[in-house]
Structure 1
């Protein structure tokens, strides 16, 4: 007999819910394809974002401090992952960009969790890392305007890129109006 009222059995249960188990079994066969596309798109977006003049942090970029190490460890078929960061320097700029990306161009969704097939983004300093003090954030490289993005794989890459560019152009327009 097992005591299911405390410990790990209470939290996790002795068996998985059958519906959840079935849903997982339906998704696992194509997980590799999804992860390859997730990573491929993130690498493409990181390069294009950098060409736009944005400060991008992505281990697949040659200028990332750990690029060579990660290159030696990574599975070349899966690249460097589907997460990247864009540093907008201030929280206000980060939220303005994320608001445009979500509500103006429909590029992605603001969220704390970054696990979904749509593009998700969060401003780490005021969300997932908000419990850290300023010194800890600085040591971890988390600026107030750091946006983490999990690049999704819905829609075509060009469609999503056009949505991103549309939001960035609108942000530049808004910045120009504010200087007048």
Structure 2
């Protein structure tokens, strides 16, 4: 982030997040553009050698090369930081590159990490396998059992990493409780806020130190580009992660930054509307005879319903998981595939946060690289289906799902 690109310095204090999502940006150029400019330039011309030398030595004081800073990327970082209530944010090429940057910046050989056993499969692999190559050990514990997180703490524990709600079972952890555990151990708490977004949940206000985003999901909202980010205090974002990303090069492209910046302008409207659709669908799914169980934080049947409502502004979010009945894992998988393949409106894809409803089979996609033991521990059974609800007419989505579900219900 560049200090010479202060975000809308004329904006008053205390603005609502809906206003921040539209108005926080970098100063306009001399042309006075109303929409944020897209700076498609790999480098920036310097006025003289002395200024060039100064800016290369002090990257926060001017743009030199897009790997070390770009006005369009800064606009996205400033806007997302404002939404999360963070001092600073740094953009990355994807959500997973944000997690990689987190690990490279904070961890070293001999360090210990505690993670939920119910997270996104690629996140679990990165902590459990990839970081392990460099001497970092990770303990996976129950997402919802704070005592298990506490019991896993060691003298060398440096980081607690949580995803809430989790992908795909929407399990919710108590952010404030985990923050207290982390801080008492001299560790940090990082929270993946991809499912809830800052519209529903602001982890930093609950005690978390860092927030991770896959901007590919709800922040963009149209399924167009890849993006990621880390939000937090300047101590970590600007002093640890920024110098590292300038060397490593896992930066967000200006075009993708521009797309996601514009996506933030409609984030509140989309998330609230998609969540309302999801609640309506979850209630309907819970009554269907072909379904064994529905996982959705907005339902009273969800084990962490009260916590979710308190942490997520009383809104359940836009992701539903449900398991199809089957007499064996093989039958449950076949029926889940039948429901998915019968869809004509829902897209068979593994992204989420799109305005188009997406349907997927986690055991063979997002969690396909995990062992069966890991999948079972995470509750990712063969009959599980994940539905990322979009903005279509709800009865149309119901009919699309009923096409396959009704067949399953009619067969013993």
TM-score band, normalised by shorter chain: 0.7 to 0.9
**Unaligned 5+ residue runs, structure 1?**
none
- Report if aligned partners of 1:100, 1:171 keep a CA contact under 8 Å in 2: no
Q: Is contact 1:45–1:161 with CA below 8 Å preserved after alignment?
A: yes
Q: Is 2:318–2:353's contact at 8 Å kept on the other side of the alignment?
A: no
Contact 1:57 1:84 in 2 (8 A): yes
1:62 to 273, 296, 300: 300
Counterpart of 2:342 (choices 100, 114, 132) is: 100
Q: 1:141 aligns with which of 370, 374, 379?
A: 379
Q: 1:116 to 1:28 in 2, by over 3 A?
A: same
CA distance in 2, matches of 1:123, 1:21: 30
Q: TM-score, normalised by structure 2?
A: 0.37
Equivalent residue for 2:272? 36
Give the RMSD, CA atoms, in angstroms: 2.5
Structure 1 partner of 2:245:
8
**In the aligned structure 2, how far is the partner of 1:149 from the partner of 1:82?**
8
Per-residue deviation, residues 80-124 of structure 1 (Å, max 9, x unmatched): 1100111125221111110001xxxx2301112223211112111
Higher relative contact order at CA 8 Å, sep ≥6: structure 1 or structure 2?
1
Normalised by the size of structure 1, how large is the TM-score?
0.80
CA offset at residue 7 of structure 1? 5.2
- The structure with the larger Rg is 2
Structure 1 distance, partners of 2:366, 2:261, is 30
The Cα of 1:32 is off from its aligned counterpart by 0.4
Q: 1 or 2, which has the higher helix percentage?
A: 1
Structure 1 residue 172, shift from structure 2 partner: 4.3
Q: What is the 5 A alignment of 1:55-134?
A: 55-76=293-314, 79-88=315-324, 89=326, 90-101=332-343, 106-134=344-372
Return the alpha-carbon distance in structure 1 between the equivalents of residues 312 and 339 of structure 2. Answer: 31
Distance in 2 between residues matched to 1:167 and 1:87, nearest whole Å: 13
For 1:125 and 1:98, how far apart are their aligned partners in 2?
13
Q: State whether residues 338 and 404 of structure 2, in contact with CA within 8 Å, keep that contact through their aligned partners in structure 1.
A: no
Instruction: Give deviations 1:19-57, integer Å, cap 9, x for gaps.
Output: 434433433222101000111111110100111132211
Q: 1:160 is matched with which residue?
A: 397
1:85–1:148 Cα contact (<8 Å) kept: yes
Task: Indicate if the aligned counterparts of 2:354 and 2:390 stay in contact, CA closer than 8 A.
Answer: yes
**2:349/2:358 contact within 8 Å kept:** yes
